[in-house]
Structure 1
Amino acid sequence: MEEVKNLVEVNVQETVTEMVKKAREAMKIFYSYSQEQVDEVVQAVAWAIYKPGHAESLAELALKDTGVGRYEDKVLKKRRKTMGTLRDLKGVKSVGVINIDVAKGITEIAKPVGVVAAVVPSTNPGATPANIAMMALKGRNAIIIAPSPKGHSTSQLLLNYIHEEFEKIGAPKDLFQILPAPVNKAITKELMSQADFITVTGSANNVHNGQTSGKPNACVGAGNVVSIVDRTASIEETARKIFLSKTFDNATSCSNDNSVVIEAAIYEEMIEALKKQGGYLCNAEEKRQLQEAMWVDGKRNSRTLAKDPIVIAQEAGLIHPDAQAANFFMVEESGIGKDYPFSGEKLAVVLTVYKADDFQEAIKISKDILNYQGRGHSCGLHSTDEKNIEQIGYEMDVCRLLINQVQVFGNGGNFNNGLNFTLSMGGGTWGGNNIGENLSYKHFLNITRVSRVIPEVVPTEEELWGNYWNKYGK
């Protein structure tokens, strides 16, 4: 038995070693590419997923093999994220000299970080690999994808599409590879140990493994988005935005609204507006049934994970006609923490609703929710009160705060905000991450800073300590 185990370990190591070797050989060729050639490679990856029929085939296969999400939304996600990311990368310098600061005598030269290991989740087995690949290849890196076991078939199809495009433009195919099936923890861990740079989007365990691998990394933590609706919000418009965020792709995204905190002055009106969007408000017994269907022995039940609302209704035994026809479900909650599972990330079309006496209490509730889960990731505010908008910016420890936006679309970049498109969002030190911004091509660049002599600038003691001396003396 021990011999079999050792043989498996050797095979895993040899498999990854060979893949990394091929990646490095491809990078040798890629390193000589001009900016124009590099941009063609990025365009090729984008076209591989955006090309008519490709996003549809990838979405269909992902839904078939993972069983999570919604076909139409997966198609939209692949096309929208790809177009947005390509827009962000278009015209950006990432080869050779990318900046010259004459005054400081600094010239910046971009270089690759090396072979990138990208661990991606089953929720986005097509969109996430393509999105990260575009960014990594922009910096002339090679990338090896470690998909989830259920998402392997989708990632493999994406690889086929990308390699078809690479063949057209004469790019080395080994710039983009995926681990062979069956993918498991051992081969994923081995890939992380041999790669030069790691990015992980997915489960807490995978993120922990990436961040403790000893390798440079840009791993991102869990989300648990909470949005505040204050008394000045546009009720109907806000309800529509929350509905869109909550239900997109059956809530597979870390950026969909998990909880909403509503000021008491507009609470009933807001609940009614959410009902008009297809929300079903569970009574106490239905909430209990829903909780039992969603968690078994404290763990999320895969039978209700990112499923259509009718499936959740059936699993929970919600027999009311309105529940059977609902677009999403609402549960009222007052508690926060492990004893109140609805206060955490759910990956389901279930919205947890809190009532706050005023705006200050709404902020406190939101802080408590994020301190329990999702700290650093993001939150939202629906308001027309500039004072509230300013206050929440100072008080909430999150890297993204969206004002009057659809969270699931806006957090990862949108055409109507200034955040770059991505499917991987850092939570900063609040979330235990190395990055706080949206993952971008910049994270896949090493920069050589060439420093030239400039006229000496030496401050006087008075300039440095004058105000201090005047206040406290020498």
Structure 2
Amino acid sequence: MTSTAQAGHMLERARWAAAAYAEYDSTAVSAIVHAVAEAAHAEAERFAAEAVAETGMGVVADKATKNRACSRGIVDYYRGDDYVTPRIDAARKIVELPRPAGVVLALTPTTNPVATVYFKTILALMTRNAVVLAPHPRAARCSADAARVLAAAAVAAGAPDGVVQVVDEPSIPLVQALMADDRTDVIVATGGTGVVRAAYSSGNPALGVGPGNVPVFVDASADLAAAATRIVDSKAFDNSVLCTNESVLIAEDSIADKLRGALTRAGAHLLDEDGARRLRAYMFADGRLNTEVVGRDAAWIAGQAGLRVTQKTKVLIAPFGDVIAEEMLAHEKLSPVLGMTTAADAARGIRAARAVVRIGGAGHSAAIHSENPSVIADFAAQVPVLRVSVNVGNSTGSSGLDTNLAPSMTIGTGFVGRSSIGENLAPQNLINWARIAYNTESAVPMGDFGGIVPWRTPSGPVPAYPRASNDRGATLTPPRPAYPAPARSTDPNLDALRAELRALVVEELAQLIKR
């Protein structure tokens, strides 16, 4: 089967499932979501081990933590929220009906493969969408295995056939075809810059996020022992594959020496200038990050750079001077390597953090360890990011695992980061609200919508997706789907636009293979 034909088959099946699932009420949706979350949670450790074995990145225990957080944890966080039942505002004489996006194409990365599969699938199901998962080629096996477990749980709980699907053998032509097809209602892209740009260039609506390059500032008022432990543990968490991990540490001069001692006691190894030079030469030999270091542990990276550290070393800290683009240690590293510099005072520390974000990570995240609300407010106001974690490790802080931000594997960077969303991706990003609005004149009464729900719990077995009679293993079914889907657009201008964008999409998606 050609890539285009395969994409078309998956999307047609997803479109049928989305149309069926959009008729479910909150009771039916809740049962499906809980069943899928429990199935995912039960396999959290197995799939964590599979992800590390397949990708060579990260730490099994930490990936299991993320898998649990992105399964049962997501359901617990949104418990009580309803994305299905109409909302009635009698005072404003408005009724709001949730309208699902339809077919969600979810691109998932190699760094957090299974957690992202869990996360995007559960969000799609909470909002009555069908989801087609396109995993990174280097994490295809574990991602597909996880997706099949979730799909089986969904169907067993009453979801329509095809509501969760996965690309078993991802390729550039297949992903390109999925992205450009007008049966894809929205693309949710998590991955490298090239993948996100390709999603935005596809001609379909897209929710994409930019890269991180997180500055963390420790000022003179901070609890240094606590700050050091939190920074080291965060930087070591899953070997720093989360885009929210700290990238550059900025310490106020007056406490820098004490902080270095606390970092050492917390498990970090502080390099001297020669060690930093050797590490820089290995990690950025050609002026770009050596992707072999991504998700590897500190001792392995040190050994590759010709440095000797103990196997218990959690993080390598490399000193440098000015925060400028030419300083490679000021760039994102996606590994337990932390650049460190100092600043004379809080104002200069904030300026250094701004410089880090100008190099990369605009709109993403920053962290500060401080007991001074005035400094924290200045930091948040001046550093151009949309989430600032305070006195917490940023890997799990900005991702919402250790703060009350929405737990998410997709971090919006807003307008400054050239992203369509500024918050952590959440269920509300996958629905629109259709609004019934009455005349504001008091003489025009609003009808009583109490108890009216236009959806229902399916009675009896859910019809199977119709298949052709010559489809291997298929059974004969009625010639038309039980739930007809909307007709495809026939606008010839769309074909012309996609032809113009094809070269760009291929070029950008090539990064999906290389990373």
TM-score (normalizing by structure 1):
0.90
Q: CA deviation at 1:293?
A: 2.0
Q: Distance in 1 between matches of 2:292 and 2:425?
A: 31
**1:250 matches 2:239:** yes
**1:43 matches 2:34:** yes
Which residue of 335, 349, 373 maps to 2:336? 349
Q: CA deviation at 1:324?
A: 4.9
**1:171 matches 2:156:** no
**1:150 matches 2:150:** no
Q: Distance in 2 between matches of 1:47 and 1:434?
A: 31
**1:189 matches 2:180:** no
**1:160 matches 2:148:** yes
Q: Distance in 2 between matches of 1:207 and 1:393?
A: 26
Contact 2:117-2:147 within 8 A present in 1 as well: no
1:419 corresponds in structure 2 to 405
2:8 corresponds in structure 1 to 17
Q: Which sections of structure 2, spanning at least 5 residues, go unmatched?
A: 443-515
Which amino acid is the alignment partner of residue 418 of structure 2? G
**Cα gap change, 1:16 to 1:337, in 2 (>3 Å):** farther
Q: Distance in 2 between matches of 1:59 and 1:43?
A: 21
Q: Distance in 1 between matches of 2:271 and 2:252?
A: 20
Q: Distance in 2 between matches of 1:81 and 1:229?
A: 30
Q: Distance in 2 between matches of 1:75 and 1:406?
A: 18
Contact 1:377-1:399 within 8 A present in 2 as well: yes
Q: CA deviation at 1:323?
A: 5.0
1:331 corresponds in structure 2 to 318
1:439 corresponds in structure 2 to 425
Which amino acid is the alignment partner of residue 141 of structure 1? N
Contact 2:39-2:150 within 8 A present in 1 as well: yes
Q: CA deviation at 1:352?
A: 0.8
Contact 2:364-2:413 within 8 A present in 1 as well: yes
Which amino acid is the alignment partner of residue 121 of structure 1? P
Q: CA deviation at 1:166?
A: 2.5
The alignment covers a number of residue pairs equal to 441
CA RMSD of aligned residues (A): 1.6
SS at match of 1:110: strand
Contact 2:147-2:165 within 8 A present in 1 as well: yes
2:20 corresponds in structure 1 to 29
SS at match of 1:202: coil
2:377 corresponds in structure 1 to 390
Contact 1:106-1:451 within 8 A present in 2 as well: yes
How does 1:213-228 map onto structure 2 within 5 Å?
A: 213-228=202-217
Q: CA deviation at 1:39?
A: 1.3
Which residue of 437, 443, 450 maps to 1:451? 437
Q: Distance in 2 between matches of 1:345 and 1:14?
A: 38
Q: Distance in 2 between matches of 1:406 and 1:368?
A: 21
Q: Distance in 2 between matches of 1:383 and 1:363?
A: 12
- In terms of mean alpha carbon deviation, does 353-362 or 185-194 score higher? 185-194
Q: Which sections of structure 1, spanning at least 5 residues, go unmatched?
A: 1-9, 457-474
Contact 2:256-2:342 within 8 A present in 1 as well: yes
2:465 corresponds in structure 1 to none
Contact 2:363-2:416 within 8 A present in 1 as well: yes
1:109 corresponds in structure 2 to 97
Q: Deviations over 1:118-162 (max 9, x none)?
A: 111001111101101111111111001110111110111112211
Contact 2:222-2:371 within 8 A present in 1 as well: yes
SS at match of 2:105: strand
2:262 corresponds in structure 1 to 273
Q: Distance in 2 between matches of 1:326 and 1:126?
A: 27
Q: Distance in 1 between matches of 2:422 and 2:166?
A: 27
**1:234 matches 2:254:** no
Using the aligned pairs only, state the percent identity.
Answer: 30
SS at match of 1:426: coil
Contact 2:41-2:68 within 8 A present in 1 as well: yes
Contact 1:304-1:315 within 8 A present in 2 as well: no
Q: Deviations over 1:75-99 (max 9, x none)?
A: 11111232331123322111141x2
SS at match of 1:85: helix
2:64 corresponds in structure 1 to 75
Q: CA deviation at 1:45?
A: 2.2
Which amino acid is the alignment partner of residue 256 of structure 1? N
Q: Distance in 2 between matches of 1:84 and 1:159?
A: 18
Contact 1:293-1:304 within 8 A present in 2 as well: no
Which amino acid is the alignment partner of residue 189 of structure 1? Q
**1:364 matches 2:351:** yes
Contact 2:70-2:118 within 8 A present in 1 as well: no
Contact 1:256-1:408 within 8 A present in 2 as well: yes
| Greater length-normalized contact order (CA 8 Å, ≥ 6 residues apart) | 2
The structure where helix makes up a greater share of residues is 1
1:303 corresponds in structure 2 to 292
SS at match of 2:399: coil
Contact 2:100-2:432 within 8 A present in 1 as well: yes
Contact 1:226-1:380 within 8 A present in 2 as well: yes
Contact 1:424-1:439 within 8 A present in 2 as well: yes
1:62 corresponds in structure 2 to 51
